[in-house]
Structure 1
Amino acid sequence: MTRNDTSYMRHVCVVNVAVSLLIADIWFIVGAAVSDSEETSVGSCTAATFFIHFFYLALFFWMLVSALLLFYRTVMVLSHMTRSTMLAIAFTLGYGAPLIIAVVTVAATAGSEGYIRENKICWLNWDKTKALLAFVIPALAIVAINFLVMIVVLFKMLRRGVGNTNQSNDKHALVVIARCVAILTPLFGLTWGFGIGIMAWPEAAGLHIVFAVLNSLQGLFILVFGTLLDSKVREALARRVRLPSSDSGGTESTRAGTSSNVFDFFRRVRRRNVYNVSEAAVTSASGTSGTYSVTDTSENT
């Protein structure tokens, strides 16, 4: 799945998005436990807040890297960047930028005891120092950039006439848009945009519920749409399960049958087509170049 630079970078982004989300959620739980304890230590609460801030920012910046990679491979198909250069840019942006923001925030506000919230709640202060802006501004800016990237990708797809041209143009365009949005929304973190509504209408219980449900399931959506419904991932898993071993022929046949049933299930879920963020080959006048785009991965059966 990672034989070329585009596939490799896509999976690097997905892995780091997943790792950042996992660690951020763990620290969120730790911070909640520290806040609920009877004797909350300022030092432990500050440490928890710092790591929550850092890893959630890392999550957003890795989603930004994923969006920029998609934009680069969709729009700038003739340009070429080496794998080492892309990795250096990705890790600098993915972890370097969040670290700088988190360190500057704690250094600027901790001295005035304005880093964490009042009553020793383990999250960034708002009333006294507005430290929360160090999270809100980068996060919403990245969500806005990723949304624009998704619009550009949709526009390019519709212009190129992706998919089966025998279908009704209007109906097919709606299908392409719906599937592209389903794939890119969790990967780009667009559901965090509901935070704008929460800030504007803090008393709206419905917005809080939608925000909590969608963002708590972000990891699940990435697993389903970004991994399990990716034909290349399923084929690689099928090959791994069906590797020859020293078991008897009957056991091997049973394993193959079980594997076939499992992946038949995912094929039925996919129906005929699933548009996912994967690598596609684009032929140019000077040769061929891999592009990271939303492509039709339908299987011929």
Structure 2
Amino acid sequence: MMYICSYFCCCVSGSAAVAFMSYSNMENMLKPSFFKTTDNDTVKTMMSTVVSATLPKTSDTRLTKPVNFTMKHIEETDPNGTLSCVYWKNTEWVVDGCYLVETNSTHTVCSCVHLSTFALIMQTKPLAETGFQIYPFMEMLGTVLVSVGLVFLSFTLLTFTVCRRHLRMNNTPRINLCISLLLAHLIFLLTQNLINYIQPLEMLCAVLAGVLHFFFLSAFVWMLIEAVLLFISVKNLTKIRSKQKEVLGWKCLIIIGYVIPLVVVGVSVGLFPGGYGSKECWIKMDRDFIWSFVGPVSLILAVNVIIFVIITFNLRSVLAKLNNDNSHIKQTKKLVFKILVQSAILGCPWILGFFTEGNPVLEMVFLFLNSQQGTFIFLVYCVLNQEVREQYRKWASCCVSK
């Protein structure tokens, strides 16, 4: 597709028409790799659409004064990258007569002494050599790990659904936490495997980023709800008639668990309309928009830590009043441990994500921990759950007898 616009500019001898043309997808033909530099080891990325400026009734492209033009970025800039204003000359991109005037996170102003076909190219240093190509390996590893995590999340949901009558505690938060993680990881997996088709569709890419933001935030909100319910349960240990379900019903929990992340995403869209849709179809780093995710997550993790500290002190006082061998006390202590582990499983990978940039080893650790959240939850709540194991044994014995 080609867009053409023209305007008239006043000159000493009169006026002349200048035609500007913008080509979408032209970078697939005039590739950034055609930009020859002294350092051939850099990774070159096209940062703008290809545009042309011509004087229709003359073949002279030289200008008496340089002309400035602004290029909009189509990719996120790398803080360590080098931007170059270039023009097409025969068979390659060159910088002769063009230079960068100023730049920010979204636009760059270039200046050239002639008219031609222009573009903006960024050069970045490749990752350190590791004996294999890191990006294809990471893509393959990510697909495998996320798929494994999805399988175990499905097993966990199936177990909670089938064993719901045999479990003593309110599993609404845990079930919805697994649903949120399952949908988030599934959308992430599909998006990353189809990124070449999705990325050119800016609206679809932004919508998918917003949906991912919603589901990941929802998982953390459900983790917080579970901690709050545990706190209520510990407070009511000495009240025989008090039950968890009498405090907050499942309908109320559903509203809280999904409305809070929806409000956060809605406010984020209102404040930063263009904040979604990075080159990975995730949250953009411009104007610190990443804090729309990091902020709520950090707040939830901090509140969880406070709740666990309070629960620990409350349990000590309760144990002093009640028999330590009480089955309800034992069950509560186990649940405190499991939810604490769950908080670490969900929170630690995202904290580690702050330190992964440019480090392939930390990136792989982050990928493993983040993708295997479903596996860890299955181990904690199914494999290490005595009630679930007993139910599994009953099913196994029934199958054997048949």
User: Is this a same-fold pair by TM over 0.5?
Assistant: yes
Decide which of 263, 267, 280 is 1:100's aligned counterpart: 263
**In the alignment, is residue 114 of structure 1 matched against residue 269 of structure 2?**
no
The one-letter code sitting in structure 2 at the alignment partner of 1:102 is V
* Equivalence map 1:1-301=2 (5 Å): 7-9=168-170, 11-37=171-197, 40-77=200-237, 78=239, 82-83=245-246, 85-110=248-273, 113-117=274-278, 120-127=279-286, 129-157=287-315, 160=319, 183-189=338-344, 191-196=346-351, 198-199=353-354, 202-203=357-358, 207-243=362-398, 252=401
Q: Conserved in 1, the CA contact under 8 Å of 2:345 and 2:376?
A: no
In structure 2, relative to structure 1, the CA distance for the partners of 1:196 and 1:218 (3 Å cut) is closer
Question: Compared with structure 1, are the counterparts of its residues 62 and 132 closer, same or farther at alpha carbon in structure 2 (3 Å cutoff)?
Answer: same
Give the whole-Å Cα distance in 2 for the aligned partners of 1:209 and 1:148: 31
Residue 42 of structure 1: CA displacement? 0.6
Which stretch of structure 1 is more off in the superposition, 179-188 or 148-157? Answer: 179-188
1:25/1:218 CA distance change after superposition, 3 Å: same
Change (3 A) 1:150 1:204: farther
Change in Cα spacing, 1:17 to 1:186, as seen in structure 2 (3 Å) is: farther
Summarize deviations over 1:113-138 as a string: whole Å, max 9, x none: 33322xx43011122x4332111111
Distance 1:206 1:153 in 2: 36
* Larger fraction in helix: 1
For 2:313 and 2:380, how far apart are their aligned partners in 1? 21
Quote how far apart the aligned CAs of 1:71 are.
Answer: 1.0
Structure 2: which 5+ runs fail to align? 1-162, 326-332
Compared with structure 1, are the counterparts of its residues 136 and 157 closer, same or farther at alpha carbon in structure 2 (3 Å cutoff)? same
Number of aligned residue pairs:
228
If each structure's strand is expressed as a fraction of its own residues, which one has the higher value?
Answer: 2
Q: If you compute each CA radius of gyration, which structure gives the higher value, 1 or 2?
A: 2
Whether the 8 Å contact between 2:356 and 2:363 is mirrored in structure 1 is no
Partner letter of residue 20 of structure 1? S
Q: 1:94 corresponds to which letter in structure 2?
A: G
Task: Choose between structure 1 and 2 for higher RCO, CA contacts under 8 A separated by at least 6 residues.
Answer: 1
1:37–1:90: structure 2 CA closer, same or farther, 3 Å change rule? same
Gaps in structure 1 of 5+ consecutive residues:
165-176, 246-250, 256-301
Q: Secondary structure at the match of 1:73?
A: helix
1:58-114 Cα deviation digits (max 9, x unpaired): 11111111111111111243355654833233212211111111222224323xx33
| Structure 1 contact 34–45 (Cα < 8 Å) conserved | no
Quick one: structure 1 residues 39 and 58, their matched pair in 2 at CA, closer, same or farther if it must change by over 3 Å? Answer: closer
**For residues 72 and 41 of structure 1, what CA distance do their matches in structure 2 show?**
47
